[in-house]
A and B are shown apart, each in its own frame.
Chain A
Amino acid sequence: MSTTTVGAPLTNSLTAGKLPKHTSLAVLAASWLVAGAVFLMLQLSGASEDFNIAGTLVFGTVLYGIAIYLLSYFVEGVRKAKDRLVTALVTAAFVVALLPLVSLVVTTVTNGLPAFLTPTFFTSSQRNVVGAGGGALHAVVGTLLITGLAGIISVPIGLLAAIYLTEYGRGRLARGITFFVDVMTGIPSIVAGLFAFALFSLLFDDPGIRFGFGGAIALCVLMIPVVVRSSEEMLKLVPNELREAAYALGVPKWLTIVKVVLPTSIAGIITGVMISISRVIGETAPLLIISGFTASMNYNLFSERMMTLPVFVYNQYANQGTDAQAYIDRAWAGALTLILIVMVLNGLARLIAKIFSPKLGR
């Protein structure tokens, strides 16, 4: 084994067979073509009525997995072949997970856009509207008011509870709170609605009570445990070293929490709050019970029924009038509005989180 042998070609012992760079893409396209050709033949022979796109993609992808594994196995060896197969599986799983979401967005946009774009949709309520026309302003206002109030009540309670659990809580009380928070995250939303309804109908001695504030309370029951859980996890991530550094400078504990712990974890806390808002903004059942539904505007949380977007969607769909299509269009437009509100909130949360999060880099 001498490297000075004259004339012998020098080969690097670290090289191995390798497929060209874009092989996998080419194999994927070829697999789809083959599957497509099969389905085209089926169509031409009359076995199926029209060209099966879904079948082409599914069988093409399966074919791709087999083809790339075999190809890679013979050229690159078993380790690379497994790697390529698993890559294909993981990517396919990702696409499958994404499909319902994409399908949902596309359906909502195509069905909801016509009514969404009518000029009256954001300027009027459903009052005295029986056919087409009218709008969802009352529902948008109701959703924003009820969810906003629920957030104003839940975020301070939830955040302070999380601070208690991470910074102060020891022993039985803390364990009890943690346990009940975990239990509360599993409460079915209809139970929260029934709780709020029972509470207020007993308090005001009114067996038919319906008002927005009750809806906000029902949403709080659902929202507080989510805020506590997510904020607690974020606060736990703050390194103890930072707390000790502040203590060592003679900073009292509460100022350490306010000025060191919270700013360090604010990005995660805001994200958690936004997730909790997204969780409750689409709740239908509790609001149906305690806030009721109405066709009119109502800006007052403390009296009379109040419409919200999810209930609006449900109501438009469930109680269609003579012009059924107009009601269904409005239901889709309401759903689209709800999705857009959640998206805007999420965008805002990301922006805020980016502004407040600790800056790194030199």
Chain B
Amino acid sequence: MSKRIEVTDLNAFYGKFLAVEGVSLTIEPRSVTAFIGPSGCGKSTLLRTLNRMHEVIPGAYVEGEVLIDGNNLYGPGVDPVLVRRQVGMVFQRPNPFPTMSIQDNVLAGVKLNNRRMSKGDADDLTEKSLRGANLWNEVKDRLNGPGSGLSGGQQQRLCIARAIAVEPDVILMDEPCSALDPISTLAIEDLIEEMKADYTIVIVTHNMQQASRVSDRTAFFNIAGTGKPGKLIEYDDTTTIFSNPSVQSTEDYVSGRFG
């Protein structure tokens, strides 16, 4: 199910502002890749270009190529909706749909697309996705309760369940734990470890311990100063990045001696 992502010479713009410049990297299937770097260096922007969410913002556009198993996401005639069905996303703040029950939230990807589904299939998919997100035992008795009634950590895992219910090949996570307490963070990190077997996972994080715990490879981004574009500084195995980086600024950043 998981796929290789190849990014070549990618520039991402917000209107005239160049936010990310000249990024090229390859993300292997069935691996966890972490994007780290200071605020405003374009990690989230780059992540959002991987499922064409970047262009949702008015005026934003992308130059360059992103290939998923050889298919260019930015080729002519590509439908962003089809891309997003293959590349799921989990956001920084948990955002369950407030009008829907827990079960409807999990099935949102199916139901919102007007696809019909028998009750048995729907229940199976709900249980499978919630088990996949480690949430089943906590919510199995109140599947019809509102999704917004869960705690923050549970809501975030509900969003992960919602993302894996549409069976994507790739899951992008934009600082999924930044609004959560250590226990919920641990639950989600364990989950990422398990999900690695089936999915290609890309995670943006500000937490370097988290990057070193969960990821196989790490990409370090940096900006030269305010208003300058973010660039990929170094991309290597996580152990190399954290123990023996080849660029001085990476070492400064991961060891906390930045700036």
**Interface residues in chain A, defined as those with a beta carbon under 8 Å from any beta carbon in chain B:** 170, 239, 241-252, 255-256, 259-260, 263-264, 358-362
Contacts and interface: CB of A to CB of B under 8 A. Distances in A.
A360 B99 CA distance: 9
B85 to A, nearest CB: 3
Contacts, number: 88
B93 A249 contact: no
Contacts of B84: 247-250
Nearest to B86: A250
A136 B123 CA distance: 56
A242 B163 contact: no
A264 B53 contact: no
Given A249-B108, A359-B146, A242 B95 contact: yes
For A239, A242, A248, A360, the residue with the greatest tally of chain B CB atoms inside 10 Å of its CB is: A248
A249 B88 contact: yes
A258 to B, nearest CB: 9
B170 to A, nearest CB: 12
Given A264-B97, A359-B146, 18 more contacts: A170-B58, A246-B108, A247-B53, A247-B56, A248-B84, A249-B84, A249-B85, A249-B163, A250-B81, A250-B82, A250-B84, A251-B109, A255-B113, A256-B112, A263-B99, A358-B148, A359-B148, A359-B149
A360 B146 contact: yes
Q: Which 10 pairs between the two chains have the least Cβ-Cβ distance?
A: A250-B85, A358-B98, A248-B89, A249-B109, A362-B149, A241-B95, A250-B84, A263-B99, A359-B146, A251-B112
Interface residues on B, range: 20 to 34
A224 to B, nearest CB: 26
Contacts of A264: 97-99
B112 A244 contact: no
Given A244-B56, A251-B81, A360-B148, A259 B112 contact: yes
A244 B111 CA distance: 16
A256 B109 CA distance: 11
A263 B159 CA distance: 19
Contacts of A245: 91, 95, 97, 159, 162
A362 B97 CA distance: 15
A250 B113 contact: yes
A229 to B, nearest CB: 22
A164 B179 CA distance: 33
Contact of B166 (A239, A250, A252, A358): A250
Contacts of B53: 244, 247-248
Contacts of A362: 145, 149-150
B95 to A, nearest CB: 4
B51 interface: yes
Contacts of B82: 250
A267 B210 CA distance: 41
Contacts of B89: 244, 248
A46 B98 CA distance: 69
B204 to A, nearest CB: 14
A170 B59 CA distance: 10
Contact of B146 (A248, A263, A361): A361
Nearest to A361: B149
Interface string B83-118: 111101101010101110000000011011110000
A260 B112 CA distance: 8
Contacts of B113: 250-252, 255
Contacts of A255: 112-114
A249 B88 CA distance: 6
B44 to A, nearest CB: 12
A248 B88 contact: yes
Contacts of A242: 95, 97-98
A256 B95 CA distance: 14
A243 B108 CA distance: 12
Nearest to B145: A362
A260 B53 CA distance: 17
A270 to B, nearest CB: 14
B51 A248 contact: yes
Interface in B229-248: none
Contact of A241 (B88, B93, B166): B93
Contacts of A249: 84-85, 88, 108-109, 112, 162-163, 166
A28 to B, nearest CB: 43
B95 A358 contact: no
Interface in B57-97: 58, 80-86, 88-89, 91, 93, 95, 97
B250 to A, nearest CB: 30
Contact of A246 (B58, B85, B112, B114): B112
Interface string B140-177: 00000110111000000001001100100000000000
A100 B114 CA distance: 52
